[in-house]
Chain A
Amino acid sequence: MYLTREEESILNGEKGEVYEKVFRLLVRLGDIYGADKMIQVGSVQVAGVSYKSIGDPGRDFLEDFAEKGAKVKVLTFLNPAGMDMENWKELGFPEDFAGNQIRIMNAFKKMGIVVTATCTPYLAGNLPRFGEHIAWSESSAVSFSNSVIGARTNREGGPSALAAALCGVTPNYGLHLNENRKPNIVINVGAELKCNSDFGALGYHVGKLVKNKIPYFKGIKDANTDNLKALGAAMAASGAVALYHAENLTPEAKIMETKGLENIDVTSKEIKETYEKLNTGKDIDIVILGCPHASLREIATVAEKLRGKKLSKPLWICTSKAMKETATIMGYTDIIEKAGGKIVCDTCMVVSPIEKMGYKTTGVNSGKAANYLPGFCKQKVVFNNIDELIKGVM
């Protein structure tokens, strides 16, 4: 790989031990994947934040780096943490877990990272432009930024994203290059998609089919950014789709050639079967919405449905701090709380220890959550649209 003189000097340890290490990491990853050079990144999103995921080794590593004076060079956000950083006590998160999570967040903050912990950084103040090179981690955020925005990122691991943030560069390979962004399979959607859970079911089904390919969707009549967020998240979870194109909906679709590619049809039959497959539970202990983190529009929709009602079971809407602030100003938080629900920030059901909080069956409208909850949180799942979920806990 070509390195500038300045980059060589970092490798020789002239900027100290931490930068030597993280830059060496970027160079090695570049070598493994055949990168020709480093490219500057506009922003970073770092995963590996929840104490549940990274444990003591991750905590110690981050504290060591922060202690040695590591500082990020570009706008850097975090993936969700293991708990609501403000209201963890009230929500019932365990005390020892909280102590470790707080240490992790303090280490990140010391490195200059914005401790807004969200899988939707693009809704919370970290918005890349079309064509911009970035180094993001969280799989749904990677999918959204690549596909819906047209920014360019590989799916980074926690440490490689942190290395990119500290050095301001990433190795030039994979989805940073034009030739690797072309679709290699066409999905003809014959089903009518009405809500986020329909898009989630489509995503789950297609992700299983195409694994790490780049699908090109035809026949999706309309979709807002919430729908596309749900679609991409589910595909990245059930498969490893980091980029998709959708005719008339995503920015690079019109420049992509689909002639000669394998075609797969998805009809309402497959969508229905996916719903059946994802439903493993019956009696809901808790409804958790906001996977990926809810947009303001999604919060407003739920608030409208809960106005003046009383829930019999807990309901969480996971979101970023930025969205909650606005929801509070608009009175949505108040409506949701009066009904017995909660807006939960900085975390999500997948990375929080809900299995230790007495919940056994979770109701979700997210294909991604339905994919992960049985394994990561030992939950049975009720997968449905918001109306049906709310009806079930009224």
Chain B
Amino acid sequence: MKGRMISLGTAEGEAIVSKEPIGFYGGIDAKTGIVIEKGHELEGKCVKDKILVFPRGKGSTVGSYVIYGLKMNGVAPKAIINKETETIVATGVILAGIPCIDKIDIENIKTGDKLKVEADKGIVEKLK
């Protein structure tokens, strides 16, 4: 799958997929990497060392700092894949140095898929 590079880097890991947008501020705990938004489809799941796949960000712009906080606390996802990266997530991943690609057809990715992300080339590959 080919998309657009938002933030540089490469990563390999297991996908965790949300069909809903994610609001990082108040949505994910920066200390643990656990999704805390009430009623969110990923509530209670941890994003640490996963390839986090979701359509787009939502909510407060402070979310950018939460993404940065996840990285500093060692509980960040290895990479982020979006349908459309808006400014909150773009700002967060660039500041944190998390590889990120958007314009990917995320319907083709399921939780548990092994993925290789080469953000510099804008490529996401499913590993067998």
Contact = CB atoms under 8 A, between A and B. Distances in A.
Interface of A: 21, 24-25, 28-29, 31-32, 48, 53-58, 60-61, 64, 157-160
Given A28-B6, A57-B72, A160 B91 contact: yes
Contacts of A24: 7-8, 94
A158 B65 CA distance: 9
Interface residues of B, number: 22
A60 B62 CA distance: 13
A104 to B, nearest CB: 11
Give 3 closest A-B pairs by Cβ, nearest first.
Answer: A57-B69, A157-B61, A57-B65
B21 interface: no
B87 interface: yes
A377 B86 CA distance: 28
Nearest to A48: B62
Given A28-B6, A32-B85, A48-B62, A57 B91 contact: no
A56 B68 CA distance: 11
Interface in B37-65: 61-62, 64-65
A57 B97 CA distance: 15
B65 to A, nearest CB: 4
A59 to B, nearest CB: 9
Given A28-B6, A55-B30, A64-B72, 10 more contacts: A25-B91, A29-B90, A55-B62, A56-B30, A57-B68, A61-B68, A61-B95, A158-B65, A159-B64, A159-B95
Contacts of B66: 57
A159 B86 CA distance: 14
Nearest to A26: B94
A378 to B, nearest CB: 15
Nearest to A23: B94
The prevalent SS among residues of B at the interface is helix
Interface of B: 4, 6-8, 30, 61-62, 64-66, 68-69, 72, 85-88, 90-91, 94-95, 97
A58 B92 CA distance: 11
Contacts of B86: 32
14 contacts: A21-B97, A28-B7, A28-B90, A28-B94, A29-B87, A29-B90, A55-B65, A56-B30, A58-B65, A60-B68, A61-B68, A157-B88, A159-B91, A160-B87
A157 B87 contact: yes
B62 A53 contact: yes
A253 B91 CA distance: 34
B71 to A, nearest CB: 10
Contacts of B97: 21
B90 A32 contact: yes
A25 B30 contact: no
Contacts of A60: 68-69, 72
B62 A58 contact: yes
A48 B69 CA distance: 15
A25 B92 CA distance: 9
B65 A48 contact: yes
B61 to A, nearest CB: 4
A32 B88 CA distance: 12
Nearest to B6: A28
Contact of B95 (A25, A29, A48, A55): A25
Nearest to A33: B87
A61 B88 CA distance: 15
A32 B57 CA distance: 14
A158 B61 contact: yes
B62 A54 contact: yes
A172 to B, nearest CB: 16
A157 B67 CA distance: 15
B94 A157 contact: no
Contacts of A29: 87, 90-91
Contacts of B91: 25, 29, 157, 159-160
A209 to B, nearest CB: 23
B87 to A, nearest CB: 6
Contacts of B94: 21, 24-25, 28
Most buried by A among B6, B30, B94: B94
Contact of B65 (A28, A54, A160): A54
Contacts of A25: 90-91, 94-95
A29 B97 CA distance: 15
A53 B66 CA distance: 11
Contacts of A56: 30, 69
B30 to A, nearest CB: 5
